[in-house]
Structure 1
Amino acid sequence: MLAFIKRLLIGRPLKSAELGEQKINKTKALAILSSDALSSVAYGPEQILIVLITVGMAAFWYSIPIAIGVLFLLTALILSYRQIIYAYPHGGGAYVVSKTNLGVNPGLVAGGSLLVDYILTVAVSVSAGTDAITSAFPTLHDFNVEIAIMFVVFLTLLNLRGVTESASILAYPVYLFVLALFILIAVGIYNILTGEVPQTLHTPIGTPVAGISLFILLRAFASGSSALTGVEAISNAIPNFKQPAPVNAARTLMMMGGLLAILFSGIVTLAYFYGIVPKAEVTVVSQIAEETFGRNFMYFFIQGTTALILILAANTGYSAFPLLAVNLAKDKFIPRMFLVRGDRLGYSNGIIILGLASILLIVAFHAETEHLIPLYAVGVFVPFTLSQTGMMLKWLREKPDGWVPKFVINTTGALISFIVTMMFFLTKFSQVWSILIFLPIIVLIFHRIKKHYDAVGDQLRLTTCERSPDIKGNVMILPVAGITHVVENSLKYAKSLNPDQIIAVYVAFEREDERKFEEKWEKWQPDIRLVTLHSHYRSILGPLTKFVDTVAHKAKEGDYQVTVVIPQFIPKKGWHNILHNQSSLLIRAYLLYKRDIVITTVPYHLKK
């Protein structure tokens, strides 16, 4: 039944030879890898207005120069990550760039930040999409968390089906969103140019505003820069592209940058001319659409596609998180389970972990986008800063032909990214302080995992000085609970191995039971030594393990191996297991951590 459900939800397993068919072209890549960046148009401009409203509506004209600054940063980042794609064509993005050029710890900071950021990508995107739905249908507002969790589960299952299949499904909503916003911006600008939008709705550009300061402007710029999250995802996901992968990735990055610049500047412009004021339960895009079209088909079309793109923007995290995890796992900084491909050739362990972690965040923050965005943005600008700095050092060290313009681009990107990061810490410290705690903890965990893998490798390698002791013979201990077919089966197995000695061990809670069992055993197996142990505290494990330790200690002195043969019957139906006390499992689990002891389980399958 479970296998049938798995096939129904995920699909048939794919052969390893079919991996090439799972690569995606530029059209599909733009949809699934740019959806995060493009979707941020729905909340990036709003973040600028939320800061400026603290001064007053008269300050809204500053959103125009702030948007120009964001576009300048976007240009620097796009050009920089284009250089990263060609310099590191096997993917890895900020993690590989930082580790290679700045050292292991900066690389781990970048990698750890991005892992957390991709989890936040899913949580923020789905939460923002849920906000868009509840803006159109206010009666659903109380169910934000439940709706968000439902979408995360859907996206997780979709991505477990494979990159190609998820890209084929997700491409349509992304391009519908782009079409919807192009229509909205075009009609909105037409209304402005034809005078249908009253001039009284906005303060003229250049109007002096009391209370405005450089600090507030930088804070608004930092908040608006949250629209640039997701720009780095393409550089992490180069292995998902069809060949030539670096060329296709670079072209997709440039297309994404162009679309993001047009949509972001268009929404900021319309918000300014329409005099839109940010509200708690109605998004800025929703207000612009309502002002432009009223509550008709186009309004709901824009809200619907906006909600879809915000939710599906989470797919950027699902595309990039597993590949970044693969790079970290190859370097032994996270568990090797992230290297394993699933039935559909995707890195399913990374996909599942990402989904579960995102649900925990959504529940913890009650699906409130405003509380998640600052942490989300600062989590990506730390790797931005590190990767740009790493590329600066790369050009200074290597000095290839035409390195000066590249160095200038990376220096500009690094400087602005650093300023944005500092502004988040200065202006929203109460919301982002946790990154100063969990990043060092994550890096420490990375090092501990690496230390463990190195230690395991040293101990398993045959070239090490440590050698296994010679084995002169074998002593087998057989725990028995009665005279049954299960014990008989295990005893026959033990005898077939011709050990030097077989010791049957019976743990009794009552003296009378001990005496009766000894009599029965003497009649049944007189040639097999029986040791009976009395348990004063009704424990099987205590007396048994003490006896095993004693035998093992004596056997080790004579270079003998102690093997504990555990009889276990297997019920015909799985649910029957809960009807039995599973003593054999407890004994095996406990003895596994004993040195110099071999544990063998002999199953006896019941037929009814």
Structure 2
Amino acid sequence: MTFKRLLFGRPLKSSEVDAEKMPIWKALPILSSDALSSVAYGTEMILLELATVGAFAFSFSLPIAIAIILLISILIVSYRQVIDAYPQGGGAYMVAKENLSMMWGRLAGVSLLIDYTLTVAVSISAGVLAITSAFPAGLPYIVPIGIIFIWFMVWMNLRGTSESGNVFALPTYLFIVCMLILVGKGLFDWLTNNVQAEHHVSIPTAIPSGLTWFVLLKAFSSGCSAVTGVEAISNAVPNFRDPAQRSAKRTMLTLGVLLAVIFGGVTILSQAYDIHPDSTGTKTVLSMVAEDAFGRGVIYYIIQIATMMILTLAANTSFNGFPILASIMAQDNNMPRMFSNRGDRLAFNHGIITLGVLASILLIVFGGRTESLIPLYAIGVFLSFTMAQVGLVIKWCKEKSQGWKRKAIINGIGALVTFFVVIIFSLTKFEEGAWIVVFITPILLWVITKINKHYKNVAKQLNVDLAVPIPTTDTVIIIPVAGIHKVVVSTIGYAKALTPNVVAFYVAFSPEAAKEMEDKWAQWNPGVRLVVVVSRYRTVIKPLIEFIGRIEYHLGEKKRVTVLLPEFFTSKWWHRLLHNQSAFRIRATLFARKDVVVATVPFRLND
């Protein structure tokens, strides 16, 4: 068994791709872990913003959470319509591409690719913070631990969707159960007045002095991190087992219900237990809620470990979404074509590895601090949300299918709300780091536009009219020789089998060397004409180029020049360093010429 097979498993046949598709129970942990995990820090992000004006503002966390839950509901309904309209997958990219234009489709694709990369960095850093909240000794090693987690995810996803789903399902369901138990216990304490803090959960009716709309909007935008990830299911519809559309819609609905219950519940409990966010960044709000509910006992540590695992596994949503989206974009010539190729385990290896590299760089640059990454986080995904909703409105209005008005109204509301969130994010988070995403998005859009232009140009030049017969051209073969030896003998024999028009070309550095070579060639007499040129400046390439030019001048367009290079290859790499690399230099020079064919006749040496 090879090391590669031991590490990644046996190769899978293309016919086994159906076995890699996901049932609902496996799709939920694979595609929803990002959205589910965001409840671990969504409430905390709201409280951190409100804390800038004072603890009196914490009562506004509940109405902000209600607004975010309404946003989640709108998106769940909207993306269920995306699944129906585009069962081939691609989500916002496909919707924008087909209903707006390819440019808008590329923008949606770029936005999602950026968001997927940030999701990995944010999820991993938050996961490490969750575990260091319980075990502070790990605080100095946040970045190394995070990078280990990222490449563990890379490794598992390179082993295939089915295997990674089996591994990641248990931690996700453990987190869901832990959160439901925590919310249930906390709500029971609150309803029975069994809470230590003398604090009442309420919805404020007026904005007190000192609290501005700008702060509330910043808190809302920070809390919207709980919304990211809901689009991943619509991107990966083809990866569901049949009936794929129905399974994807059920998974989407299940996700929406869980998000509303857990996120809303944790926000209520943060008020009920009078939780204040830790300004040092060493304790999470969820950790403090769990500690107040259960104390620092076994259940507390189980919750922290489950939170750490789900936050780490949240990156798995991106490790499924990024490669699938990149492959769809590559099929449209908007990404390098390598991203559309599946590996031995039917995974999109290039997308998985690229995502791992980019996320590792982000983790190192930002020092693994979640609060530093959050401002970059959701602009891309909400921009793609907006384009998807606008695209669907246009689609329904054009097709006028049954119930199109209702669908257009739903998607129209979704477009307005998500665009409003994009504006809020751009304004409130711009100085905190959102400018990076605003700056890099158009650059990446320009890059993939250039990629698409290149592929179109290549296709245009390579296009063949099947009705036109293949033109035949004769060729003259030039063989640069450095002497008479077996490599030259085999090359001349091969050339004469192709055409009688063969010329050997020799560069001498002195008249004496030229005379000696001519005498040897005449004595050998291989039936091929030898042209000898004396180079006063001891260079081989320039005389060869000039000779090719003279041949082309006399031949015109009737014949093509081919340069056939005799080249021997040593058995050991260091042996190659002991020989001149003249063939390599000639090949590198002639490859730049459009009018010359360059080929190599290899001769392999023994030890």
TM bucket (normalised to shorter chain) is over 0.9
| CA shift for structure 1 position 120 | 1.5
Q: Corresponding residue for 1:501?
A: 502
Q: Corresponding residue for 2:29?
A: 31
Where does structure 2 lack aligned partners over 5 or more consecutive residues? none
SS in 1 for 2:378: helix
Distance 1:461 1:404 in 2: 44
SS in 1 for 2:270: helix
Alignment of 1:209-224 (within 5 A): 209-224=208-223
Deviations 1:431-485 (A, max 9, x none): 11233332222222232222222222222222399998651x3221222334332
Task: Say if 1:539 and 1:378 are closer, same or farther in 2 by CA, change over 3 A.
Answer: farther
Task: Say if 1:165 and 1:587 are closer, same or farther in 2 by CA, change over 3 A.
Answer: farther
Is this contact kept in 2: 1:507–1:543, CA < 8 A?
no
Task: Say if 1:68 and 1:538 are closer, same or farther in 2 by CA, change over 3 A.
Answer: farther
Q: Corresponding residue for 1:184?
A: 182
Task: Say if 1:432 and 1:577 are closer, same or farther in 2 by CA, change over 3 A.
Answer: farther
Shifted more, 44-53 versus 297-306: the winner is: 297-306
Distance 2:579 2:132 in 1: 50
User: Does residue 255 of structure 1 match 2:257?
Assistant: no
Task: Say if 1:537 and 1:176 are closer, same or farther in 2 by CA, change over 3 A.
Answer: farther
| CA shift for structure 1 position 573 | 4.6
| CA shift for structure 1 position 519 | 5.0
Is this contact kept in 2: 1:506–1:530, CA < 8 A?
no
Deviations 1:406-439 (A, max 9, x none): 2222122111111111111111112112333322
Q: Corresponding residue for 1:420?
A: 421
Paired residue for 1:200, among 184, 195, 198?
A: 198
| CA shift for structure 1 position 98 | 1.3
Task: Say if 1:561 and 1:368 are closer, same or farther in 2 by CA, change over 3 A.
Answer: same
SS in 1 for 2:209: coil
Is this contact kept in 1: 2:47–2:219, CA < 8 A?
yes
Shifted more, 30-39 versus 5-14: the winner is: 5-14
Is this contact kept in 2: 1:477–1:563, CA < 8 A?
yes
Q: Corresponding residue for 1:488?
A: 489
Task: Say if 1:512 and 1:46 are closer, same or farther in 2 by CA, change over 3 A.
Answer: farther
Task: Say if 1:481 and 1:215 are closer, same or farther in 2 by CA, change over 3 A.
Answer: same
Q: Corresponding residue for 2:447?
A: 445
Is this contact kept in 2: 1:22–1:164, CA < 8 A?
yes
Alignment of 1:392-471 (within 5 A): 392-430=393-431, 431-463=433-465, 470-471=472-473
Shifted more, 285-294 versus 410-419: the winner is: 285-294
Distance 2:544 2:367 in 1: 51
Task: Say if 1:550 and 1:90 are closer, same or farther in 2 by CA, change over 3 A.
Answer: same
Distance 2:376 2:539 in 1: 51
Distance 1:263 1:578 in 2: 65
Is this contact kept in 1: 2:508–2:535, CA < 8 A?
yes
Task: Say if 1:410 and 1:489 are closer, same or farther in 2 by CA, change over 3 A.
Answer: same
User: Does residue 548 of structure 1 match 2:558?
Assistant: no
Task: Say if 1:497 and 1:352 are closer, same or farther in 2 by CA, change over 3 A.
Answer: same
Q: Corresponding residue for 2:105?
A: 107
Shifted more, 415-424 versus 130-139: the winner is: 130-139
Amino acid at match of 2:327: V
User: Does residue 360 of structure 1 match 2:361?
Assistant: yes
Amino acid at match of 1:440: P
Q: Corresponding residue for 1:330?
A: 331
Is this contact kept in 2: 1:180–1:305, CA < 8 A?
yes
Shifted more, 525-534 versus 460-469: the winner is: 460-469
Is this contact kept in 2: 1:58–1:202, CA < 8 A?
no
Distance 1:331 1:26 in 2: 29
Paired residue for 2:115, among 107, 111, 117?
A: 117
Task: Say if 1:142 and 1:394 are closer, same or farther in 2 by CA, change over 3 A.
Answer: same
Deviations 1:351-405 (A, max 9, x none): 2222222222222222222222222211100001111111122222223222333
Is this contact kept in 1: 2:175–2:306, CA < 8 A?
yes
Shifted more, 35-44 versus 560-569: the winner is: 560-569
Paired residue for 2:142, among 122, 127, 144?
A: 144
| CA shift for structure 1 position 558 | 5.1
Is this contact kept in 1: 2:507–2:540, CA < 8 A?
no
Q: Corresponding residue for 2:288?
A: 287
SS in 1 for 2:277: coil
Is this contact kept in 2: 1:511–1:534, CA < 8 A?
yes
Is this contact kept in 2: 1:470–1:559, CA < 8 A?
no
Q: Corresponding residue for 1:158?
A: 156
| CA shift for structure 1 position 553 | 4.3
Task: Say if 1:55 and 1:491 are closer, same or farther in 2 by CA, change over 3 A.
Answer: same
Amino acid at match of 2:157: N
Distance 1:27 1:291 in 2: 32
Task: Say if 1:591 and 1:210 are closer, same or farther in 2 by CA, change over 3 A.
Answer: same
Distance 1:97 1:479 in 2: 57
Task: Say if 1:406 and 1:58 are closer, same or farther in 2 by CA, change over 3 A.
Answer: same
Distance 1:42 1:540 in 2: 69
Distance 1:100 1:145 in 2: 41
Alignment of 1:379-390 (within 5 A): 379-390=380-391
Deviations 1:186-245 (A, max 9, x none): 222233334332343568643863311222212211111111000000000001000111
Distance 1:512 1:292 in 2: 98
Amino acid at match of 2:503: I
Task: Say if 1:181 and 1:575 are closer, same or farther in 2 by CA, change over 3 A.
Answer: farther
Deviations 1:10-37 (A, max 9, x none): 2221111111111110000001000110
Distance 2:406 2:574 in 1: 68
SS in 2 for 1:463: coil
SS in 1 for 2:565: strand
Paired residue for 1:62, among 60, 63, 71?
A: 60
Q: Corresponding residue for 1:80?
A: 78
Is this contact kept in 1: 2:503–2:531, CA < 8 A?
no
| CA shift for structure 1 position 286 | 1.9
Amino acid at match of 1:150: I
Is this contact kept in 1: 2:63–2:203, CA < 8 A?
no
Distance 1:481 1:368 in 2: 62
Q: Corresponding residue for 1:133?
A: 131
Distance 1:139 1:549 in 2: 73
Is this contact kept in 2: 1:552–1:597, CA < 8 A?
no
| CA shift for structure 1 position 583 | 4.0
Amino acid at match of 2:30: I
Regions of 4+ moved over 6 Å: 464-469
Measured on the aligned residues, the alpha-carbon RMSD in Å equals 2.5
TM-score by length of 2: 0.93
Amino acid at match of 2:138: L
Amino acid at match of 1:120: L
Distance 2:515 2:277 in 1: 84
Shifted more, 321-330 versus 84-93: the winner is: 321-330
Distance 2:134 2:503 in 1: 76
Distance 2:508 2:216 in 1: 77
Distance 1:14 1:45 in 2: 43
Question: How many aligned residue pairs are there?
Answer: 603
Is this contact kept in 1: 2:199–2:273, CA < 8 A?
yes
Is this contact kept in 2: 1:564–1:599, CA < 8 A?
yes
Paired residue for 1:10, among 8, 11, 17?
A: 8
Task: Say if 1:180 and 1:544 are closer, same or farther in 2 by CA, change over 3 A.
Answer: farther
| CA shift for structure 1 position 539 | 5.1
Distance 2:429 2:93 in 1: 26
Q: Corresponding residue for 1:563?
A: 562
Structure 1 vs Structure 2: percent identity of aligned residues?
A: 47
Shifted more, 545-554 versus 269-278: the winner is: 545-554
SS in 2 for 1:561: strand
Shifted more, 207-216 versus 146-155: the winner is: 207-216
Shifted more, 291-300 versus 323-332: the winner is: 291-300
| CA shift for structure 1 position 492 | 1.9
Amino acid at match of 1:170: F
SS in 2 for 1:198: coil
Is this contact kept in 1: 2:375–2:429, CA < 8 A?
yes
TM-score by length of 1: 0.93
Where does structure 1 lack aligned partners over 5 or more consecutive residues? none
User: Does residue 95 of structure 1 match 2:97?
Assistant: no
